[in-house]
């Protein structure tokens, strides 16, 4: 069943660029509830098999999908939604690599949003604490 969903939904087995574009640059931030779960499982598959495709892009899109799901739950404005999606990217990437400062600076440089460094760092610190507990 999971394989059929993954093959049918273009946001699951891809680099995640289209998913991040939809979540960050369009007003409709809706995605199916299962997208973050399958994106994380996809990330685990990439990471454990050592297959080509890397860790970076799937990790960014997995974090964006988690942030997008949280945005759907709490119904924020567009600006705050984008901030939460970007914090999700920082959080997931930090949890994966355990480098909170590097993750925050990386997303900061990609987005050129220097005014939100505190929120990125906070997301990174929370994510590293959770990854240590797990």
What pTM did the predictor assign? Answer: 0.83
Residue in the block written with tokens 């939460």: 84
Q: Minimal CA–CA distance to 74: which of 60, 57, 88, 58?
A: 88
Cβ partners under 8 Å of residue 45, min gap 6: 51
Q: What is the pLDDT of residue 9?
A: 59
Tens of pLDDT along the chain (134 residues)?
A: 555 555 555 666 667 778 888 888 888 888 888 888 888 887 777 777 776 666 787 888 889 999 999 999 998 888 889 999 999 999 999 988 889 899 999 999 988 888 899 999 999 999 999 988 98
């Amino acid at each position: 069943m999971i394989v059929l969903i993954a093959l049918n939904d273009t946001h699951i087995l891809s680099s995640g660029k289209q998913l991040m574009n939809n979540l960050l640059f369009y007003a409709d931030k809706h995605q199916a509830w299962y997208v973050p779960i399958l994106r994380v499982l996809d990330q685990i598959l990439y990471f454990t098999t050592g297959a080509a495709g890397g860790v970076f892009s799937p990790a960014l899109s997995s974090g964006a999908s988690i942030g997008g799901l949280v945005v759907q739950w709490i119904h924020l404005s567009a600006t705050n939604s984008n901030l939460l999606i970007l914090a999700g990217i920082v959080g997931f990437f930090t949890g994966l690599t355990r480098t909170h400062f590097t993750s925050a600076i990386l997303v900061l440089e990609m987005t050129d949003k220097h005014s939100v460094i505190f929120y990125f760092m906070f997301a990174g610190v929370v994510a590293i604490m959770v990854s240590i507990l797990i």
